[in-house]
Amino acid sequence: MPMKIEQALTSLVIQAIRSLYNSTVESKSIVFQKTNAEYEGDLTIVVFPFLKISKKSPEVTAKEIGAYLQANSPEVEHFSVVKGFLNLVISGQYWFDYFTKVAENTGYAFVPVTDSSPTVMLEYSSPNTNKPLHLGHIRNNLLGYSVAEILKVNGNKVIKANLVNDRGIHICKSMLAWKKWGNGETPESAGIKGDHLVGKYYVEFDKNLKSQISNLKSQGLSEEEAEKKAPFMLEVQEMLRKWEAGDAEVVGLWKMMNSWVYKGFDETYKMLGVDFDKMYYESDTYLLGKKMIDEGLSKNVFNRGADGSVFIDLTPDGLDKKILLRSDGTSVYMTQDMGTAVERFKEFPELSKLIYTVGNEQDYHFKVLFLVLKKLGYKWAESCYHLSYGMVELPEGKMKSREGKVVDADDLIKEMIDTARETTMELGKTEGLELHEAEKLYHAIGLGALKYFILKVDPKKKMLFNPKESIDFNGHTGPFVQYTYARIQSVLRKGGSVVGSRLSVVGINRKEKNLIKIIYDFPGVVQDAGREYNPGVIANYVYELSKEYNQFYHDITILKEENADLRNFRLALSAKVAEVIRSGMNLLGIEVPEKM
RNA sequence: GCUUCCGUAGCUCAACUGGAUAGAGUGUAGGCCUCCGGAGCCUAAGGUUGUGGGUUCGACUCCCGCCGGGAGCACCA
């Protein structure tokens, strides 16, 4: 990657200040920003921080520094001053040279992974096996996958992990309902995906339990008592005990129903295009944390209550007391998470970061988890990070899975693809496409729209999904970017290939310069996205690039340009834009079609 | 009640981490296919950034107080 012009200018500004005002400034205080479109210029230096040193007005200071830069840097063509802002015009030659240097280098924005690169484990997805995936899971999956890809191109080895919540009382609920009312129904016999079938029995259980509870309440029991004494509740608890004791029949049922669910999940994962390097199952790991109870007690980090329960008192840290072992000796979620974290650093001692992709409703949980690990003396505790994301809300409010107010993942994916198919046909773009190619295209567009819609939003913020309005293919959307890519491919097919490093052009126009400047920004954007764990940075960037290209395409002739050098340059520029769009979209897990 | 996150155009989202007159899309009203793909391009209207103070050359951004909303609050996961 060529050196950034900002670096060279920074040291020049330091020189300027030394020579003009006989003083030194830190490079940190020299901030560059893009020049506003309404003024002439490429880069702007804010001179307010230097006024104390120069003891002159903002205008004079800016002019003096500007003159120095112009005199000492061939890249600074000229400059102008507006109030305290020094606007620098960087020569077209510089931008053109930059372009020829990166034109042939597809990885110019990426940090390569080597043997000595740090290893990061990123956990995401982590579903429960008692119901199918919904829109909330989709955000988790897309976010996790994308951040993993972004970390890779920032020079990290990434292990994508999925910890499946495959045991516990909620799983037993589906099992019990199926046993009672299922009549041996299977995904095959019912013609339903396995995860949906199991989910159906989960709902069934809940319904029947509720009617039992309301019966008991009408007999005069309180809500709390009724919940505890409902026969179905007692039965399901008994089932969980049997499962933990290894009862052959219960375990057999559990295995069968879970295998249905996994098959269903695999289909959904495949449609979403997400994958994992490492699968963990809670049935293997849920006992891990128990060992740490003694460790914590002997280190006086944990306390034992009179009833035998174990807890940690975090009130000195501004948090609460947190139970870690129930009075009956069983462990809670927190304990399990402690155990699995320790286990992972044992399994992968080279881990430099452990990232959990989990919704922000668990912010407190992870705050406590990391603090407990730190108090136990694990120095890697500070390398743990909660990639917290906001909830997806519907126009009518939060999704409630128990009330059936959810957007089912499989339904939504299908709807996106159907809409892509309809739109493509309406626009008459299916000509000359084989059927299976067409279907691949609808998938790319439908999923592209969905993924882009979700990933363009800052993960930290909650987002609204309106099923009627959110499926849009125009404007600031995935298909807009895909369309721009396909359009460029069409130009390149007609224009032939050119060697970007052997170009010569006398001058570049404003639109060309704008495009090169955006291409120039890509490395920094990739870095920002990685530092912030935010795919939205990439999404907004590829949109900006696409928009600029479409203007260029509209205003500037490419194929019919008579000057061969200019024509070649514009073809090479188009090819580079397409390549950056493709690599950016791939970081979001979105495919770009050659035609659409 | 305590802790915590959030309020930006009618709607959905940005704003380079404290910098210029807060930007896009969508929707609304208009315009652009004799030119490489109209899923595109251009123009217009649309804002006291919830609100009141403070910090400073400068605040959507930092601090404090209100108003409104979400989430979490030891033996659920």
**At A431, is the pLDDT very low, low, confident or very high (cuts 50, 70, 90)?**
confident
In-domain check, residue A186? yes
* Average pLDDT, integer, range A232-241: 93
Report DSSP state, residue A159.
E
What pLDDT is recorded for position A536?
97
What pLDDT is recorded for position A220?
83
For residues A49 and A21, what is the distance between their CA atoms, to the nearest angstrom?
A: 14
Do A60 and A208 lie in one domain? The reply is: no
For residues A265 and A137, what is the distance between their CA atoms, to the nearest angstrom?
A: 11
Give yes or no for residue A180 having a pLDDT over 90.
yes
For residues A520 and A534, what is the distance between their CA atoms, to the nearest angstrom?
A: 20
Contact flag, residue A314 CB and nucleic strand B, below 7 A: no
For residues A491 and A42, what is the distance between their CA atoms, to the nearest angstrom?
A: 29
| Single-letter residue type at A79 | F
Give yes or no for residue A403 having a pLDDT over 70.
no
Give yes or no for residue A2 having a pLDDT over 70.
no
Higher model confidence: residue A26 or residue A202?
A: A202
Q: Are A543 and A475 in contact, with CB atoms under 8 Å apart?
A: no
What pLDDT is recorded for position A1?
58
Q: Are A389 and A357 in contact, with CB atoms under 8 Å apart?
A: yes
Specify the residue for token string 């404003």: A510
* CA–C1' nearest nucleotide, residue A85: B20
Q: In whole angstroms, how far apart are CA A332 and each of A17, A54, A182, A288, A311?
A: 61, 63, 31, 11, 11
Least confidently predicted of A53-57, A123-127, A419-423: A53-57
- Boundary of a domain, candidates A44, A74, A90: A90
Of these ranges, A30-34, A204-208, A277-281, A405-409, the one predicted with the greatest mean pLDDT is: A277-281
Do A77 and A178 lie in one domain? The reply is: no
Of these ranges, A131-140, A394-403, A489-498, the one predicted with the greatest mean pLDDT is: A131-140
Report DSSP state, residue A316.
G
ipTM here: 0.96
Contact flag, residue A84 CB and nucleic strand B, below 7 A: yes
What pLDDT is recorded for position A341?
95
- Express as a percent the part of chain A with pLDDT over 90: 80
Contact flag, residue A328 CB and nucleic strand B, below 7 A: yes
Do A38 and A173 lie in one domain? The reply is: no
In-domain check, residue A372? no
Give yes or no for residue A483 having a pLDDT over 80.
yes
Instruction: List, as one string, the DSSP characters of A477-541.
Output: SHHHHHHHHHHHHHHHHHH----GGG---S---HHHHHHHHHHHHHHHHHHHHHHHT-HHHHHHH
In-domain check, residue A337? no
Contact flag, residue A324 CB and nucleic strand B, below 7 A: no
Contact flag, residue A329 CB and nucleic strand B, below 7 A: no
Q: Looking at beta carbons, which pairs linking A505-508 to residues 24 or more positions away fall under 8 Å?
A: A505/A96, A505/A565, A505/A566, A505/A569, A507/A92, A508/A92, A508/A95, A508/A96, A508/A569
For residue range A255-274, list pLDDT tens digits in order. 999 999 999 999 999 999 99
**Residue (of A68, A64, A128) closest to A281 by Cα position:** A128
Give yes or no for residue A590 having a pLDDT over 80.
yes
What pLDDT is recorded for position A24?
87
Do A571 and A469 lie in one domain? The reply is: yes
CATH number at residue A71: 3.30.1360.70
Do A543 and A417 lie in one domain? The reply is: yes
What pLDDT is recorded for position A500?
67
**Residue (of A213, A210, A215, A187) closest to A200 by Cα position:** A187
- Boundary of a domain, candidates A57, A73, A90: A90
Residues forming a β-bridge with A82? A85
**At A165, is the pLDDT very low, low, confident or very high (cuts 50, 70, 90)?**
very high
Contact flag, residue A305 CB and nucleic strand B, below 7 A: yes
Phi-psi region of A41 (alpha: psi -120 to 50; beta: other; left: phi over 0): left
Taking the CA of residue A315 and the C1' sugar atom of nucleotide B74, their distance in angstroms comes to 11
What pLDDT is recorded for position A477?
96
The alpha carbon torsion through A171, A174, A180, A181 (nearest 10 deg) reads -170
Do A52 and A175 lie in one domain? The reply is: no
On the CB side of A116, CA atoms within 13 Å amount to 0
Do A172 and A58 lie in one domain? The reply is: no
**Residue (of A592, A591, A585) closest to A146 by Cα position:** A585
What pLDDT is recorded for position A137?
95
In-domain check, residue A124? no
Q: Are A162 and A278 in contact, with CB atoms under 8 Å apart?
A: yes
Q: Are A23 and A17 in contact, with CB atoms under 8 Å apart?
A: yes
For residue range A283-296, list pLDDT tens digits in order. 999 989 888 999 99
In-domain check, residue A260? yes
- Chain CA centroid to CA A75, Å: 38
Q: Which of residues 149-168 of A touch strand B (CB under 7 A)?
A: 165, 168
**At A432, is the pLDDT very low, low, confident or very high (cuts 50, 70, 90)?**
confident
What range defines the domain where residue A569 resides? 409-587
Do A416 and A559 lie in one domain? The reply is: yes
How many Cβ atoms from other residues are within 10 Å of residue A342's Cβ?
19
In-domain check, residue A215? yes
The tally of domains found in chain A comes to: 3
Do A466 and A561 lie in one domain? The reply is: yes
For residues A481 and A547, what is the distance between their CA atoms, to the nearest angstrom?
A: 8
Contact flag, residue A475 CB and nucleic strand B, below 7 A: yes
**Residue (of A369, A596, A374) closest to A481 by Cα position:** A596
- Boundary of a domain, candidates A252, A279, A306: A279
Instruction: Name the protein residue, with chain letter, whose CA is nearest the C1' of B13.
Output: A457
Contact flag, residue A251 CB and nucleic strand B, below 7 A: no
| Single-letter residue type at A492 | L
Higher model confidence: residue A30 or residue A396?
A: A30
CATH number at residue A499: 1.10.730.10
Contact flag, residue A169 CB and nucleic strand B, below 7 A: yes
In-domain check, residue A100? no
Do A547 and A425 lie in one domain? The reply is: yes
Task: Give kind and range of the element (H or E) at residue A385.
Answer: strand A384-389
Give yes or no for residue A101 having a pLDDT over 80.
yes
* CA–C1' nearest nucleotide, residue A170: B77
* CA–C1' nearest nucleotide, residue A486: B37
* CA–C1' nearest nucleotide, residue A480: B39
Higher model confidence: residue A550 or residue A305?
A: A550
What pLDDT is recorded for position A225?
83
In-domain check, residue A109? no
Q: In whole angstroms, how far apart are CA A187 and each of A193, A197, A392?
A: 6, 6, 29
What pLDDT is recorded for position A188?
97
How many Cβ atoms from other residues are within 10 Å of residue A397's Cβ?
8
The pairing of strands A43-46 and A32-34 is antiparallel
Give yes or no for residue A142 having a pLDDT over 70.
yes
For residue range A346-390, list pLDDT tens digits in order. 999 999 999 999 999 999 999 999 999 999 999 999 999 999 999
What pLDDT is recorded for position A548?
96
